[in-house]
Each structure stands twice: as structure tokens, then as C-alpha cells.
């Protein structure tokens, strides 16, 4: 199955008898394959457009608007099933200096690498987002404050040990400042979490 000479799938038809299929059968199968290829391509395009609505294109993390919906959903689940939800906020220290010294393209690449590092550091049940600029937030599902602090300690060590490079292979080390808030320990709702942890 092809779209514009690009293979998007394979159709396999078998028969236990020789010469079972006639030319008309093959034409029908080609038509079905064409429609199936169009359906596959449309589904992929729909997924790409949907991802653009919820994902930050630079870091590959969720965008702030979608993350807010995730927080609402997780706090509601936390109330219903009585498990804690922790939020970790962090921003990169002196990030403006990276942009001023090495340029915005290097800064953007560094943010992208931080996003990749963050995605690798959280569980599949958790969620992370770029809130804008060099600010990030992580939702840790069913995670106490003590567990969240342990995750922060590990991620901070990973981030501090990571070597980033400028365009001329200059070595760039970055650090970050973190804040942790846990529902319901620190707050009775999302807005209070935002206020107490900012």
C-alpha cells in the first residue's frame, strides 16, 4: 500500500490453490489497498495534528494548556481514590546567560535536550510539561512528598552531570532550582498548589 510512492503498509492474500485469483480479483484488491493506504495516512495525519495541539514542539513535553487539564484530572482522581499527587516545578538557573553567550539556537537545543532527559527520567504514569521559557513542571501520580523529593534529587544529579555543548563544542553545565508541592498535604486544590510552590 503506497501514498505518493511511499509504502505505508503491506497487504498479504494467500490461497491454497494455484491460480485461484483472476485479474478482476487483483483489481479489486488494488482498490481496497488504495483506500486502506488513504485511511492509514489520514489516521497518521490526525495523530500528528492532535500531537501539535498538546505537545511543545521544542521539548517534546506537554504544553502548559494540556498539562493543566492533566492536573485537574489527577487531582479529581486523587480526591476519589485517596492517593497523593506531587508537582515538581523547576527552572534552569541563569539560562539567559546561555542565550546571551552562545545564542538562541544553542539555548533552544539545550532546552530540547533537557526535555529529552526529563522524559527519560519519569515513569509512564507521570507527566511533564514545559511551562514556557526555561520553566518545567512534572506531575508525579500516586507519589508522596518524600518520594517526589527523592525523584528531584536523582534528576538534579543527572542534570548537573550532563554535559551540553555549544556550536563550537564548548562545554556548558547547567543547574536548576526546584520546588515540590504535594496534594493534599500542601493544598486542597490546584490553585493553592500553584500559589504555595511558585
Active site residues: 134
Question: Parallel, antiparallel, or unpaired for β 171-172 and 135-141?
Answer: unpaired
Of 178, 176, 183, 137, the C-alpha closest to 159 is 176
Burial of residue 194 (number of CB atoms within 10 Å: 0-12, 13-18, 19+): middle
Give the separation between CA 29 and CA 83, rounded to whole angstroms. 53
C-alpha cell at 190: 490546584
Q: DSSP labels for 9-75? A: -------SSTT---HHHHHHHHHHHHHHHHHHHHHHHHHHHHHHHHB-TTTSSBPHHHHHHHHHHHH
Distance of CA 54 to the CA centre of its chain: 9
C-alpha cell at 121: 527520567
Amino acid at each position: 500500500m503506497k501514498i505518493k510512492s511511499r509504502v505505508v503498509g503491506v497487504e498479504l492474500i494467500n490461497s491454497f490453490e494455484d491460480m485461484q485469483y483472476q485479474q478482476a480479483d487483483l483489481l479489486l484488491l488494488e482498490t481496497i489497498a488504495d483506500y486502506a493506504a488513504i485511511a492509514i495516512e489520514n489516521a497518521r495525519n490526525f495523530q500528528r495534528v492532535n500531537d501539535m495541539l498538546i505537545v511543545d514542539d521544542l521539548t517534546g513535553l506537554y504544553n502548559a494548556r494540556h498539562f493543566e487539564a492533566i492536573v485537574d484530572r489527577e487531582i479529581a482522581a486523587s480526591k476519589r481514590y485517596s492517593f497523593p499527587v506531587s508537582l515538581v516545578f523547576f527552572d534552569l538557573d541563569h539560562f539567559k546567560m546561555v542565550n546571551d553567550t552562545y545564542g538562541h539556537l544553542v539555548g533552544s537545543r539545550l532546552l530540547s535536550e533537557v526535555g529529552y532527559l526529563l522524559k527519560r527520567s519519569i515513569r509512564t504514569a507521570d507527566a511533564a510539561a514545559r511551562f514556557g521559557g526555561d520553566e518545567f513542571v512534572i506531575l508525579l501520580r500516586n507519589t508522596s512528598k518524600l518520594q517526589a523529593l527523592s525523584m528531584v534529587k536523582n534528576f538534579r544529579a543527572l542534570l548537573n552531570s550532563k554535559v551540553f555543548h555549544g556550536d563550537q563544542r564548548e562545554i556548558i553545565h547547567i543547574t536548576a532550582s526546584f520546588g515540590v508541592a504535594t496534594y493534599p498535604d500542601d493544598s486542597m486544590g490546584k490553585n493553592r498548589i500553584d500559589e504555595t510552590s511558585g
